[in-house]
Chain A
Amino acid sequence: MSDWFSEPANWVFLVVGLGVAGSALRVVTSKNVVHAALYLVATLAGTAVLFLLLSAEFVAWVLVLVYIGAVVVLFLFGIMITRAPIGYDASLDNNRRAVAAVVSGALFLLMSWAAIDFFGSEPLQGIGEGTPTELLGESILGRFVFPFEIVSFVLLAALIGGITVARKDATPAEAEEQV
């Protein structure tokens, strides 16, 4: 155990991991919708730091840009548009919290047991070295160019689908007027 603490990367992981776990807990237990969304920002920022620690710089900044920059803003818009109760509200949770806690606790115990059992002392390589973005670019546009194109198509379909679903349809009277 003293071995574990002698490595500086482990200290960073301990601090960041506790921050991520605490704010993730607040995301699912907060009584305030806006606070829950802002705690998600803290969770994702901690995850980005963890990615930097695991020498995945490009992915860390993609996470910051896409998640914190776009997805959370979208969530805040959604909260405002659906007029979710801003401020303290006890009715955000249903009455099955005990069952949910048992299920998720059992899942956590099972998954962490499996992780420790199978990868107990597996060392990580190249901590603090960094992955060259060039390598990622060659990988995405070389070996994985087909999935990349499919993902871009998914994004396009989601864009068009989002507009189509959320658009306000004209009432029959309005539609007649437009013709």
Chain B
Amino acid sequence: MTLAPILVLAALLFSLGVYGLLARRNAVLVLLAIELMLNAVNINLVAFEAMLRDSLAIGQVFTIFVITVAAAEVGIGLAIVLLIFRNRATANVDDFSLMKW
């Protein structure tokens, strides 16, 4: 088994995440797209670990860190979406122009 096909799959997942981030209007779906991108990073880390096989398994350790941070990010992100929905009665990111000048 070689490394390149796995990296191409991860690149595909990352690009699909970028597409979702740019094309979606619903804030929850934008968060889903961000999850796809983080998942692509995880695949890359594990694949490089399988190539290098260092004595500390650094790739897998950092995958666990990324998963933890992603979980925290989803919690905060959904809390913010919920708050904006409560104040503005919409979850469309196009309508959030509060910080535009």
B-binding residues in A (CB < 8 A): 7, 9-10, 13, 17, 20-21, 24-25, 27-28, 33, 36-37, 40, 43-44, 47, 50-51, 54-56, 58-59, 62-63, 66-67, 70-71, 74-75, 77-79, 81-84, 91-94, 96-97, 99-101, 103-105, 107-108, 111-112, 115-116, 119-127, 131, 135-136, 139-140, 143-144, 147-148, 151, 154-155, 157-159, 161-163, 165-166, 168
The complex places the Cα of A161 from the Cα of B74 at a distance, in Å, of 12
Name the residue on A nearest B44 (C-beta).
A115
Q: Is the interface of B mostly helix, strand, loop or mixed?
A: helix
Contact: B35 with A40, CB < 8 Å?
A: yes
The complex places the Cα of A80 from the Cα of B47 at a distance, in Å, of 36
A-binding residues in B (CB < 8 A): 1-9, 11-29, 31-33, 35-36, 39, 42-43, 46-47, 49-51, 53, 55-58, 60-61, 63-65, 67-76, 78-83, 85-86, 91-92, 94
Name the residue on A nearest B85 (C-beta).
A82
The complex places the Cα of A115 from the Cα of B9 at a distance, in Å, of 10
Contact of B64 among A59, A84, A103, A124 (CB under 8 A): A59
Contact: A59 with B24, CB < 8 Å?
A: no
The complex places the Cα of A116 from the Cα of B7 at a distance, in Å, of 8
Residue contacts A-B, CB under 8 angstroms, 16 given: A28-B17, A37-B32, A50-B46, A66-B67, A71-B74, A79-B28, A94-B23, A94-B24, A100-B19, A100-B22, A101-B19, A116-B8, A131-B60, A139-B56, A151-B65, A166-B83
Q: Which chain A positions have C-beta within 8 A of B86?
A: 168
Q: Which chain A positions have C-beta within 8 A of B4?
A: 115-116, 119-122
The complex places the Cα of A46 from the Cα of B30 at a distance, in Å, of 21
Q: Which chain A positions have C-beta within 8 A of B70?
A: 67, 71
Most chain A CB atoms below 10 A, which of B57, B69, B85 = B57
Contact: B51 with A17, CB < 8 Å?
A: no
